[in-house]
Amino acid sequence: MDQIDRFKPTLRAYLVGAYLFSVPAFAYSETLGLLMIPQITGALLVAYALSDILRGLKIQIPKEIGLYGLMGLWAVITHYFGVSPNEWRTLSLGTLIKVVIATLACAQLVKDENDFYTALKIFVFSILVVFYQNMGDLRYLRIADNIPEMDRFAGTFTDPNTAAIFSLTVIWASILLLLHSRKGFLSWIWFSIPIVISLLIIYYSGSKKGLMGLGLFVLFLTKLLYTRQQSSFYKKSLILLIASALIIIAGYFIYSSPFFFRIQQLVYGGSAGDINRSYLISDAIHVWLRNWKSFFIGVGYDNFRFVSDLQSNSHSTPLELLACNGIIGCSLFMGFLILLFRKFVLLYRQALNPELKRIFFSIIIFLFIYSFFMLTHVLHASRELLPILGGLAAFGQYHLRLLRRGQVNGA
């Protein structure tokens, strides 16, 4: 590990990091005229990935990312079997194609853990640009006495759930980097900045997924902290005290949110949005099962919104894929996610190094929370998350190769 840490960052790592940074920072800045930045960065990323393949005459994309690529190809095929095309649907398909290609490129270019950590370090500080662009909205929400539900923070993301999911990903990435870092107190100070900004965004987004996801994340984090110390009763007691304090603080954070009533509505009913989403579940299943053609290939990528009674997407990744791309498209995506889970569960169980064990467990936490989010949000074409998953898959593949090499050598 120490030898790996001394490696200098590579150009491919900087390119992956620059792309991960540019999407949340600039892809939503249409009014500022910054949309070209992530497009140019993405083009450079893909061009370098292609040159990397040609130089080595070898594609190093993990098989789970290959399944995601096949899902994208299947979406293109089903698009032309759906209802008559229109401009919006074409734009949605174009976004998916870009996300798939960027994810494949990230998986190709991340060769080792040094590449992955370098890219993540660049990514987490994209929250600073997001904060700068949205300071006015956040300042207004901080001084407002009563905030109506329609004024939930969305900012440049235009969707409170997208803002909350991105912020929670920044928190996870910052903690992962802290687990890996050996700079101690200085690292905590440095990475506390994106964590605090992310918490602020989640707080004012009012996203039920964001608030509940934060609660789940803290519960997993306390488990991670407790398993970190196994040497003495005193250290375990101290960690247990810190873990309890974290749970209490997180509970109060969620309860004090100006939009906590939205979680109460989820429990006690009364929310029109929750009623509509329940209806969309049955509607998506009905569209999927209407005939043999829709069962296997769906109604065409992103076409569910045009055949739905509510003229909306299903607000659920599995249901959206079933309705639009049939059982084949949904199976390809779920296979991608299951294989990714399986890889890191295997690495966690086989890891002998305590630091690696903690890192693999934190990645499993992120995959679990992503799965929680995707059940109630359409995330199979997330511009922020899927390229990160591509890098994660390559990171896991690198450690899997080390594991197999060690087994062959009898280590």
pLDDT digits (tens, 9 = 90+) for 232-253: 666 667 777 877 888 888 888 8
The predicted-structure confidence for 156-203, as pLDDT tens digits, reads as follows: 888 898 999 999 999 999 999 988 877 766 778 888 999 999 999 999
Q: What average pLDDT does this structure show over 7-36?
A: 87
Domain that holds residue 303: 2-408
Question: For position 228, what pLDDT does the model report?
Answer: 55
Question: For position 380, what pLDDT does the model report?
Answer: 94
Q: Is pLDDT above 70 for 122?
A: yes
Identify the weakest region by mean pLDDT among 5-9, 40-44, 99-103. 5-9
Q: Is pLDDT above 90 for 322?
A: yes
Q: What average pLDDT does this structure show over 384-390?
A: 96
388 CB contacts (<8 Å, ≥6 apart)?
Answer: 20, 106, 123, 169, 173
Q: What average pLDDT does this structure show over 81-108?
A: 78
Q: How many domains does the chain have?
A: 1
Identify the weakest region by mean pLDDT among 223-227, 287-291, 296-300. 223-227
The predicted-structure confidence for 328-370, as pLDDT tens digits, reads as follows: 999 999 999 999 999 999 999 998 888 888 899 999 999 999 9
Return mean pLDDT, the chain: 86
Q: Is pLDDT above 80 for 3?
A: no
Question: What is the pTM for the complete model shown?
Answer: 0.89
